[in-house]
Amino acid sequence: MTGGKGVKVQGDHFQTKKDALEYCEDVLQTHPSVVVEEKFEGEEFSLQCLTDGKTVIGTPPVQDHKRAFVNDFGANTGGMGSYSCENHLLPFLEKKDVEDGLEITKKVAEALYKETGEYYKGIMYAGLIKTKDGVKLLEYNARFGDPEAMNVLPLLKNDFVEVCQSIINQQLHKIKFKFENKATVCKYVVPEGYPDNPVKNEKISIGKIPKQARLYYASVDSREDGLYMTSSRGVACLGIAEDLEKAEKIVEEAAKSVKGKVFHREDIGTRKLIEKRIRHMKDILSHKIRKL
């Protein structure tokens, strides 16, 4: 495991087999193995699910942004931000795509029981990608996503303690889940140089933030004279509103209120970046049609 920061993609981070092998040699200096996977072309999304081993409940899909810099440039990070939409889809997804992703998780939950004889109870957070050949599975985490949890949990109208108890008691099927029909945008404020060479122990200050915004403190140190950044993601800012444009404006104002040797991705949740995602998916799907 490399903290979510070790993935290199052919065509983006390296161009030739020689480049790939050189990176493998670097990894093997500190890790016992290298995993080589097929490269999917498409748009990724997160589908965080709750399960008691028998019942699987999906939360609204979210799109995370791993690249460090605006317009998806730079190294992969732990996650620079994420967004969800008020219709509980994403601009490049159809309802069937979410249903297909949920079906994958249901099959995995069933397979876990068949293999182990025990019901897995908790969170099944699927990293999925929509491709020209449908929705494919990239990975699972046995936890909520960071930052994706901050997009969906504030929208949950149910009592979360009751939800957890129903998971433990395998009564999840009795819960009628309700998520608000609102859009969310999350942006992480991180130290300059993150993720490769982040500045450390630099003091930050937080000015006036919009009333509608929320701040979640992550990797920061609270000292007598204020807050200090560490080497990782420091402050997550969240905007919630009736639509994506309003949510993005709220969170951008909040992120700009964090002062110091920091930066954030201003483009997350913006119309320009969303339209880029939509065009990308249309190009992939139209290429499939032309091949047929």
Residue 4 in any domain: the answer is: no
Residue 260 in any domain: the answer is: yes
Count of domains in the chain?
Answer: 1
Chain mean position to CA 119: 26
Residue 83 in any domain: the answer is: yes
Higher pLDDT: 286 or 265? It is 265
Question: Residue 61 carries which DSSP code?
Answer: P
Nearest alpha carbon to residue 276 among 70, 40, 101, 39: 70
Task: Say if residue 291's pLDDT is above 60.
Answer: no
Q: In the prediction, which pLDDT does 37 show? A: 85
Residue 10 in any domain: the answer is: no
Band (3; pLDDT cuts 50, 70, 90):
low
Band (288; pLDDT cuts 50, 70, 90):
low
DSSP string, 101-112: HHHHHHHHHHHH
Residue 33 in any domain: the answer is: no
Which residue, chain included where needed, has tokens 């903290």?
Answer: 3
Instruction: Give the three-state DSSP class for 187.
Output: strand
Whether the model pTM is above 0.75: yes
Query: How do beta strands 122-131 and 73-76 pair?
Result: unpaired
Which residue, chain included where needed, has tokens 């620079």?
Answer: 80
Question: Residue 58 carries which DSSP code?
Answer: E
Q: In the prediction, which pLDDT does 164 show? A: 97
Instruction: Give the three-state DSSP class for 255.
Output: helix
CATH number of the domain that residue 62 is part of: 3.30.470.20
Q: What domain range includes position 286?
A: 39-291
Q: In the prediction, which pLDDT does 8 show? A: 86
Residue 2 in any domain: the answer is: no
Residue 29 in any domain: the answer is: no
Nearest alpha carbon to residue 125 among 80, 79, 194: 79
Nearest alpha carbon to residue 77 among 238, 219, 254, 251: 219
Residue 147 in any domain: the answer is: yes
Identity of the amino acid at 273: L
Task: Say if residue 137's pLDDT is above 90.
Answer: yes
**Overall average pLDDT of the 14-27 stretch:** 93
What torsion, rounded to 10 degrees, do the Cα atoms 135, 138, 143, 145 define?
Answer: -80
Helix (H) or strand (E) holding 283: helix 271-291
Q: In the prediction, which pLDDT does 7 show? A: 82
Which residue, chain included where needed, has tokens 């490269």?
Answer: 39
- Counting Cα atoms < 13 Å in the Cβ hemisphere of 133 gives 4
Residues 256 and 217: their CA atoms lie apart, in Å, by: 15
